[in-house]
Amino acid sequence: MSALKLKKGTSRKSAYDLKSTLGDTVETHTIAVLVDNEAGVLARVIGLFSGRGYNIESLTVAEVDHTGHLSRITIVTTGTPAVIVQIKAQLARMVPVHEVHDLTVEGPSVERELAMLKVAGTGDKRVEAMRLADIFRAAVVDTTLESFVFEITGTPEKIDAFVDLMHPLGLVEIARTGVAAMLRGA
Amino acid sequence: MTRQMTGAQMVVQALKDQGVDTVFGYPGGAVLPIYDEIFQQNEIRHILVRHEQGAAHAAEGYARSTGKPGVVLVTSGPGATNAVTGMTDALMDSIPLVVLTGQVPTFMIGTDGFQEADTVGITRPCTKHNWLVKDTDKLAEILHQAFHVARSGRPGPVLVDIPKDVQFANGAYVEPAKARTGHYQPQVKGDIEAISTLVEAMEKAQRPLFYTGGGVINSGNGACQLLRELVDATGFPITSTLMGLGAYPASGKNWIGMLGMHGTYEANLAMHDCDLMINVGARFDDRITGRIPDFSPKSKKAHIDIDASSINKVIHVEIPILGDVGHVLEDALKIWKSRGRKTHAAGVRKWWGKINEWQAVKCLTYKNSDKLIKPQFAVQRLEALTKDMDRYVTTEVGQHQMWAAQFLGFQEPHRWMTSGGLGTMGYGFPASIGVQIAHPDALVINVAGDASFLMNMQEMGTAVQYDLPVKQFILNNERLGMVRQWQELLHGERYSHSWSESLPDFVKLAEAFGAKGIYCDDPRNLDDAINEMIKHDGPVIMDCVVEKHANCFPMIPSGKPHNEMLLGEADTTGAIADGGAVLV
């Protein structure tokens, strides 16, 4: 967990969460950003990251409030504590941004990602792939006599592990959604 | 009841409703409907520039000298791209601009149409926000939102891209009061607890220092008044960035000069040795900090800023205060007074003793000449002959800019317009036009270099057309002086492309445009030439030929801390180490 001691939801309103940022260890943070669902908003966010040299490990976006025209962007990023604080401040000052939440700090949070894996093969390898998919609770969403398409949902780490196991069993294609995340509790 | 009108009419109506009196622009195919509406009214004055970059800088000059947003109207494609430098400049220096661009009709967007450019895409990183309006019904509201965003919080440029069919189509006009300005409402009140912490630190500080910036001026005249009251009541010394000059008067008793790379010895050493640094609306720019690990190592730092992303971006501060400078200073004064107006008087007195020692070094001294005009002498004489006038000064970028900052004194805010963050050569001349438009009876001087002036000299046409008596005071050393200085200091005196070959005859250039030209290369004639320039009722180019190899001192070489300044024409070889050479 982070060394930051941030008050919940302070990233937009308060500058006082900026205190304990002296540290040079790189941390991974998941940030949820609520934005106006307008043309170009994703380009603005991505442009901020590329323009200022911040990292994007994963990014997902979709409309979450149709009547309010709001989209939720979930960004997984890495940086020193000072950089993470900068990222949040830079996001928060963008005009179409309504809220910025650092789920890693405000957490605990639940993170989920969906992936589809196409595994081709026959014989023992095919059986083994099916057996491992069962263990990982991956569903088969398409099958031929020589291939499966598995759908797996879980933390990025769980998906990484599943991908690693499928590699020697005939993995030919992967599609991943990136992380969606939410705070635990009410 | 909603009023129906065309998009082009909405643009003019919205500008009127926003209190706009002047637009700087250049017509073209994609803005013809708007120009047609401008033709049919008299309330908004349109100033025809000669290049769209000039429009943006003129609007910046207008904005900086009035505190109101500057408005730019240009066409699609090249019109928009030419304005990009001005918008980037305004973004770096927090200047409110509303830029309106024409665009190809909505049905042609994406087809590589004639004069089509992805304007919102190109300007996304150089505006606070921008909009592409695809529906006339939304145009009026977006225009009002644009003004709101440009003015609110940390000011900056915004752009509204309006396709030609949207300008022709009819829609419902929305009044400013009915426009939804949404959730964009930056926090202006500072946290009282944090302000109290600052006041406590001020009471205890033995070596306090105010370090103020352009944010004070952006916050308004009230903020400048509060700053003056707080500084004078506490007796603390005050320095300012290039952008903040004039917020506290240069004649004020606590003023110790500008700080930074070419700031005064006393200001930079005070920054290095203070025990409490109170940053008011400045942003720890690299021209200010020098080498970061050595930046003011002994001080506790407070930072008042309206932009949370400015706080702790470069320098870690112990007392961050998010809020508008005016509001925060008001609360700080109130709290400080209510707690009994305490300061560590003995400590501060001793601190002033130290500062007075540094001041005695007289770091701005230079060796004068009776044969050649020294550039510093030229600016000094300009100051002596104009300081009591209703004067506004703009500058280009380079050595002359630093000498102007060092030798001109500003007693009021909004009197000094210079490109600080972006360092845009070519800024000063069009900016002086914008200032003169806003203040028709004032003396407006652009302190320029020969190279910078050439970058937007086409605006002589604008100055002459509108009979704007702007004074172009060119310190002509036939060099790119600051580039030359750096080449001398860190590139072994190899002066790669830093001289001005084939300069025009500036007097003839002025005359070719129908303006007045004055030539001076003799220090004995300098005062007469400056007086002639001031007295002439019309635009003037004064070609002031100065010594060619003067360097601008003091100087903190890049990569060095504040207490390793170069003071004058001492031996400067090896002043910048290899590590410093990679810095700009």
Nearest CA in chain A to B134: A39
Q: Do the chains contact at B308 and A21, CB–CB below 8 Å?
A: no
User: H helices within B467-577, ranges in order?
Assistant: 481-490, 506-512, 526-535
Phi, psi dihedral angles at B561 (to 5 degrees):
-80, 170
Looking at this predicted complex, what is its ipTM?
Answer: 0.91
Q: What gap in Å lies between CA B214 and CA B453, rounded to an integer?
A: 25
Q: Which residues of B are catalytic?
A: 52, 114-115, 164, 482
Q: Are B124 and B161 in contact (CB under 8 A)?
A: no
A109-120/A171-183 β-pairing: antiparallel
**Sign, Cα dihedral of B200, B204, B210, B211:** negative
Using the Cβ of B185 and the Cβ atoms of chain A, whether some distance falls under 8 Å is answered with no
Can you give the C-alpha Rg of chain A in angstroms?
19
Chain A positions touching chain B (beta carbons under 8 Å): 13-16, 18-19, 21-22, 36, 39-40, 43-44, 47, 51, 82, 85-86, 89-90, 92-96, 98
Task: Report residue B169 as tokens.
Answer: 């189509």
End-to-end CA distance of chain B: 58
User: H helices within B18-83, ranges in order?
Assistant: 32-39, 52-66, 78-82
Question: Inter-axis angle of helices B481-490 and B399-407, to 10 degrees?
Answer: 100
DSSP state of A12: T
Q: Do the chains contact at A39 and B132, CB–CB below 8 Å?
A: yes
CA B485 to chain centre: 23
CA B522 to chain centre: 32
Q: Do the chains contact at A82 and B312, CB–CB below 8 Å?
A: yes
- Count CA within 13 A, CB hemisphere, residue B286: 11
Please give chain B's pLDDT, 584 residues, in tens: 579 999 999 999 999 999 999 999 999 999 999 999 999 999 999 999 999 999 999 999 999 999 999 999 999 999 999 999 999 999 999 999 999 999 999 999 999 999 999 999 999 999 999 999 999 999 999 999 999 999 999 999 999 999 999 999 999 999 999 999 878 999 999 999 999 999 999 999 999 999 999 999 999 999 999 999 999 999 999 999 999 999 999 999 999 999 999 999 999 999 999 999 999 999 999 999 988 999 999 999 999 999 999 999 999 999 999 999 999 999 999 999 999 999 999 999 999 999 999 999 999 999 999 999 999 999 999 999 999 999 999 999 999 999 999 999 999 999 999 999 999 999 999 999 999 999 999 999 999 999 999 999 999 999 999 999 999 999 999 999 999 999 998 899 999 999 999 999 999 999 999 999 999 999 999 999 999 999 999 999 999 999 999 999 999 988 888 888 998 765 455 566 666 667 76
Among B109, B183, B188, pick the best mutation site for testing chain A contact (most A Cβ within 10 A): B183
Digit-coded pLDDT (tens) for A38-69: 999 999 999 999 999 999 999 999 999 999 99
Phi, psi dihedral angles at B275 (to 5 degrees):
-105, -15
Q: What gap in Å lies between CA B122 and CA B371, rounded to an integer?
A: 50
Q: What gap in Å lies between CA A70 and CA B459, rounded to an integer?
A: 45
Q: Are A156 and A60 in contact (CB under 8 A)?
A: no
Among A93, A94, A100, pick the best mutation site for testing chain B contact (most B Cβ within 10 A): A93
User: At which residue do the structure tokens 């003023």 appear?
Assistant: B255
Q: Are A117 and A101 in contact (CB under 8 A)?
A: no
Residue B8 neighbours by CB under 8 Å, 6+ apart: B33, B34, B36, B37, B167, B168
Nearest CA in chain B to A95: B184
